[in-house]
């Protein structure tokens, strides 16, 4: 009897491994939650990177549709995506950056090194805005209409084609 008790933790570990393994095999990793699409942009007030004045995305959107890009200086995919965002700079779409869980000096150094594609940059130092938006990881980009409704969401680095598609929705 005592011998079986010694193997009980191993049996439990194997059972849990099988349970998690079977779950992972039946899960689609391409599913991306779109929970906020079709809903109003969260009513958040965030400081701007330059000057720290409070600003809201809802007020910015009232001036015209925009792309809201959550990014961070510590994020390697954000660096990969950056040239695509720079390509949007000359187009008639406003891109607002939200520096997610990043120190302002690191954000400034990142933009000084790679260029600044943003019409405005907001700071989400503690990640509160990311939680409100349902950010699962950076980079993530949202299209916000002039009425303040979220029209689309893209998770991961933007490709040139996807950036053009989102910019078209924002016009």
Sorted by where each begins, the domain ranges of the chain are: 45-169
Over the chain, what is the mean pLDDT?
88
Angle at 124 (CA atoms; ends 118, 125), nearest 5 degrees:
125
d(CA 57, CA 55): 7
Is the pLDDT at 31 greater than 60? The verdict is: no
Is the pLDDT at 165 greater than 90? The verdict is: yes
Model confidence, pTM: 0.80
Q: What is the pLDDT of residue 145?
A: 94
According to CATH, what is the number of the domain 45-169? 3.40.30.10
Is the pLDDT at 119 greater than 80? The verdict is: yes
């Amino acid at each position: 009897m005592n011998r079986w008790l010694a193997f009980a933790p191993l049996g439990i570990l194997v059972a849990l491994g099988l349970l998690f393994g079977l779950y992972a095999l039946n899960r689609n990793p391409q599913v991306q939650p779109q929970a906020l699409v079709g809903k109003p942009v969260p009513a958040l007030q965030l400081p701007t990177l330059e000057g720290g004045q409070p600003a809201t995305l809802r007020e910015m959107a009232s001036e015209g549709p925009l792309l809201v890009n959550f990014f961070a200086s510590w994020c390697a995919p954000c660096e990969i995506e950056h040239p695509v965002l720079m390509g949007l700079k000359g187009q008639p779409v406003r891109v607002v950056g939200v520096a997610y869980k990043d120190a302002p000096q690191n954000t400034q150094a990142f933009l000084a090194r790679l260029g600044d594609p943003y019409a405005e940059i907001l700071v989400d130092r503690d990640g509160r805005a990311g939680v409100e938006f349902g950010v699962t990881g950076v980079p993530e980009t949202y299209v916000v209409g002039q009425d303040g409704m979220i029209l689309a969401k893209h998770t991961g680095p933007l490709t040139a084609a996807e950036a053009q598609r989102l910019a078209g929705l924002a016009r």
